[in-house]
Amino acid sequence: MASVEEQDRYFVPSPSRWPMVGSLALFCIGLGAAFAVNGMLLGKVSLALGMLILVAMLVGWFGDVIRESRLGVYLGREDMSFRWGMGWFIFSEVMFFGAFFGALFWVRTVSVPELGSLDYKMLYPDFEASWPLSTGPGITQAYQAMEAWGLPSLNTLILLTSGATVTWAHWGLLQENRNQFKLGLLLTVVLGCTFLALQMHEYGHAFSKLNLTLASGAYGMTFFMLTGFHGLHVLLGSIILFVVWLRSMSGHFDARHHFAFEAASWYWHFVDVVWLLLFIFVYWL
């Protein structure tokens, strides 16, 4: 255990090249996106290069932090900084999804009823103020809404189970049961990948059978924006947990020092909560 004097210190790392590398990656990605939307081959090359540089930066930067942690230079105050940083990061994600849920609620409770009122009957005589929208401006092809029961409910069960397995892994670590810790982590990653595979199947069904796309009016846009970004977060969370599992296989973490795992589990529980809200307000109601 670090002494009181050591806990009052704050480790200052040497000047790092990684912020500059990250800036270069974002520049290549932004430039590539601008070129790609204009159909230029250079755009795809720049995008690919930017993504490779970004991945290299993430591996290198997090690798430095892991090595510093393993050397024992983080004595107390750094841990508090990491916790605050992760807390604010999750808060920013709450605001991110809050904007999309706000758009969904505005469309359903304000825009659709208003467009269906008598004030707009002359403009849109065939419009029906119902949700999901079946008619209206911009909807050129009929589509079917996604049912809540079936794959969505199965995915809900999968994510709830994954929340239980990551908690079970935490209990194992606190009890110094490393086999339980590693097994719980691996099960969580497998469940996360299963969720993503089923979501890809669900999207294929939506495109081919239900004719549900981003062009399917406000319902299609809100459905794919919310579920798509959530799927991206599940992918990110699965990668983080997989890295934590690889570290656990190398003997990292113990009952007292395991913030990387805690941060990953916080993020995973956040992803679970967002999906429950999605299932209720996008699929069910």
DSSP string computed for 25-65? HHHHHHHHHHHHTTT-HHHHHHHHHHHHHHHHHHHHHHHHH
Distances in whole angstroms, Cα of residue 238 to Cα of each of 211, 212, 224: 30, 27, 20
* pLDDT mean over 80-85: 89
Q: Which own/partner contact pairs does 127-136 have at CB distance under 8 Å and 24+ positions apart? A: 131/219, 132/219, 133/217, 133/218, 133/219, 136/217
Domains of the chain by range and CATH? 1-74 (1.10.287.70), 76-282 (1.20.120.80)
Q: How many residues are there in the chain?
A: 285
Q: How far apart (Å, rounded) are the C-alpha atoms in residues 262 and 215?
A: 40
In 3D, which of 27, 60, 26, 31 has the Cα closest to residue 44? Answer: 31
Q: Which distant-in-sequence residues (6+ apart) come within 8 Å of 275 by Cβ?
A: 155, 156, 159, 230
Query: pTM for the complete prediction?
Result: 0.86
* pLDDT mean over 151-168: 95
pLDDT number for residue 135: 55
* pLDDT mean over 60-64: 91
pLDDT digits over 5-27, tens only? 555 677 777 788 999 999 999 99
State the DSSP string of 182-247: HHHHHHHHHHHHHHHHHHHHHHHHHHHTS---TTSHHHHHHHHHHHHHHHHHHHHHHHHHHHHHHH
Which has more confidence, 165 or 145?
Answer: 165
pLDDT digits over 33-45, tens only? 999 988 888 889 9
pLDDT digits over 190-223, tens only? 999 999 999 999 999 999 888 888 878 888 889 9
pLDDT digits over 114-147, tens only? 887 877 777 777 777 778 766 555 555 677 888 8
* Inter-residue contact 260 to 247 (CB < 8 Å): yes
* pLDDT mean over 145-150: 87
* pLDDT mean over 134-163: 82
Which has more confidence, 6 or 177?
Answer: 177
